[in-house]
Amino acid sequence: MKAYLILEDGTVFEGTSIGSTREVISEIVFNTSMTGYLEVLTDPSYAGQAVVMTYPLIGNYGICKEDMESGRAWPDGYIVRELSRIPSNFRSGDTIQHFLEEQDIPGISGIDTRALTKILREKGTMNGMITTNGSFDLEEVKERIRAYQVTGVVLKTTTKEKYVLPGEGKKVALMDFGAKKNIARELNKRGCEVTVYPADTPAEEVLKTKPDGIMLSNGPGDPAENTEIIKEVRKFYESDVPVFAICLGHQLMALATGANTYKLKYGHRGGNHPVKDLETGRVYISSQNHGYAVDEHSMNPEVAVPAFVNVNDKTNEGLKYVGKNIFTVQYHPEACPGPQDSGYLFDRFLRMMEEER
Residues forming the active site: 247, 332, 334
C-alpha 317 chain-centroid distance: 14
H/E stretch holding 174 reads: strand 171-176
**Half-sphere exposure at residue 149, Cβ-oriented, CA atoms within 13 angstroms:** 5
Tell me whether strands 260-277 and 213-216 are parallel, antiparallel or unpaired. Answer: unpaired
Instruction: Please answer whether residues 79 and 16 qualify as being in contact, where contact means their C-beta atoms are separated by less than 8 angstroms.
Output: no
Instruction: Please answer whether residues 61 and 124 qualify as being in contact, where contact means their C-beta atoms are separated by less than 8 angstroms.
Output: no
Is the backbone peptide bond immediately before 337 cis, with ω within 30 degrees of 0? yes
C-alpha torsion 259→214→352→325, nearest 10 = 30
C-alpha 23 chain-centroid distance: 24
- Spatial neighbors of 229 by CB under 8 A, at least 6 apart, are 154, 177, 199, 200, 252
C-alpha 274 chain-centroid distance: 17
The amino acid that residue 56 corresponds to is: P
- Spatial neighbors of 173 by CB under 8 A, at least 6 apart, are 195, 197, 206, 209, 211, 213, 214, 215
Q: Which phi and psi angles does 222 have, rounded to 5°?
A: -80, 120
- Spatial neighbors of 57 by CB under 8 A, at least 6 apart, are 81, 82, 84
